[in-house]
Amino acid sequence: MPIATVNPANGETLETFEPMDEDELERRLELAEATFRTYRTTTFAERARLLHAAADLLDADRDDIARTMTTEMGKPLKQARAEAAKCAKAMHWYADHAEELLADEEPADTDVKDSGASRVRVRYRPIGPVLAVMPWNFPLWQVVRFAAPALMAGNVGLLKHASNVPQTALYLEDLFHRAGFTEGCFQTLLIGSGAVDDILRDERVRAATLTGSEPAGRAVAATAGEMIKKTVLELGGSDPYVVMPSADVDRAAQIAVTARVQNNGQSCIAAKRFIVHTDVYDAFAEKFVAGMAALRTGDPMDEATDVGPLASEQGRKDLEELVEDAKRSGAQVLCGGERPDGPGWYYPPTVLAGIHRDMRIHREEAFGPVATLYRAGDLDEAILIANDSPFGLSSNVWTRDEAEVDRFVRDLEAGGVFVNGMTASHPAFPFGGVKRSGYGRELSGHGIREFCNITTVWQGA
C-alpha cells in the first residue's frame, strides 16, 4: 500500500509520500535512543508542562487537523473535531495525573520486616523507545492514547502510522516538537508495513504497541515474542449489544444507531451484534431499523452528514463480501445492503436479521455501518450468543434488573461491560480486550504502567 492521502469521498489521490530510506531510519533510531538517555531523567513537572503545551496547541489547531483527518479517512467533520478535542483532554489528564499514577508504592510494614529490610519501595521507571503501530480509523486518538502516557512515563515514541493517513502522522510529530519536546521524543516514521519487523528486532526498540487487525497483531506479537519484548495489542472487536425486557427500549434503540455507525461504523468498539430478548425484539427492531434508515450518508465535510465513506476501496469490498455471504445464506436485509452508485467508497447503513453460525458475518468483524440482529429467548441464550465470538473487546447491556447486571458482568467475555449506555473510552478507565481482541491495557494507571520497568527497591538495615 503506497504512503498517500487518497480522499475516500471521491477516490482522488491528493499527495503521495516517499518512504524513509535506511539511512534516515537509522538516524531516527539513534536519535530515539540518545534522547531517551536524557529525557528519562526529566521531572514529572517538566513533562507535564510540555504535554499541557501540546494539548493547548491541538485545541488551537482543532479545525484544521479535523479537516485533514476527514480528507484522509472520511470520518464526518463534526466527529473529527470531537476526536481532536478528546485528544487534548487526554493529554491534559495525563499531564495532571501521571506523577500520582507512577508514585512509589510501599508494601505493608509487616511484609517489609519479614523480608529483613528497613525499607522496600516499588518504583515505576521508563523502559525506553517504544514502537507504536497505529491504524487509520481514529488517526489522532489511537496515537495520543499511547503517546501521552508514554511520554509522561519518561519513554520516547516511534510512530509507524497507517499508510493512508500520512499527513495526520506528520502533524503529530510536528505538534510535539512545537510544544517543546526535543526532536527524538516523538518521531513519525514514514515507512511501509514491511519495515516494521526489522525495527522491532532492533535492540534500541524496547517494546511495541499495536492497534489494528488480527493478522498485524499476530505478526508483531510473533516477532516481539522471539525478541522477548513487551507488547500491548488492541485488535478487532465484534461487540455485543444486549437488550433485555426491563430496558428502556426506545432509548436502547436510539443509542444503538449511534453505537453502530460512529466513525462510519469503522470502530473496534462499535456495537456490531444486537442481541434482543424475544419479548422486546419486534419493538426494538422496528425503531432501530427506522433509525438506521433515516441516517444521512454523504460528503463528510458537510455538517449535516451522519455517515461518510469507508476509508478505502478494499474496506468496502470486504464489507460487501460479508453482506453478500449472509444474504446467500438466508439473512434478511431490513435496510441498506446495496452499494450506491457514484464516486467514493460509500456503503449505506444496513441491518441484517436471521443470522446463524454458518455465516461469515457471525464470526468476522464487519468494519462498516452494518448491524446484525439476533433474537434471544432468555438471559442464558443472550449470554451464549454474546460470547459466541472470537473477539472480546467490549460489550453493551440494557437492563434495569440488577441481578441481570451481575450475571452479565460475571459471564460476558469482554474487556468492558457498559450498562445502559454505549461503549466509549476515557483516559481514566482501562481499555483493552480478551481472546482475539488482544491483550494488555491502554489508558488509566494500567495503561501508563504497561511500558514501565516495575522495580523493587530493597534496602537493608
Is residue 196 within 8 A of residue 190, CB to CB? The reply is no
Helix (H, G, I), strand (E, B) or coil at 258: helix
**Angle at the Cα of 114 (from 109 to 115), degrees rounded to 5?**
100
| Phi, psi dihedrals of residue 175, rounded to the nearest 5° | -60, -50
In the residue annotation, 268 being an active-site residue is answered as yes
321 catalytic residue (yes or no) = no
Handedness of CA 71, 73, 79, 84 (dihedral sign): negative
Q: Which of 430, 439, 456, 433 is nearest to 149 (CA)?
A: 430
- Measured CA to CA, the distance from residue 64 to residue 77 in angstroms comes to 10
Asked whether 306 and 315 are in contact (CB, 8 A), the reply is no
Q: 359: which 3 cell numbers?
A: 455465516
Of these residues, 33, 72, 173, 234, which one is catalytic?
234
Residue 33: closest CA among 178, 131, 143, 169: 131
For residue 415, the 8-state DSSP code is S
Q: What is the b/e burial string over 124-135, where b = at least 16 CB atoms within 10 angstroms of the residue's CB?
A: bebbbbbbbbbb
Exactly one of 72, 87, 173, 268 is catalytic; name it.
268
CA distance 163 to 160: 9
What contacts 191, CB < 8 A, 6 or more positions away? Answer: 19, 20, 25, 160, 199
Residues known to be catalytic: 234, 268
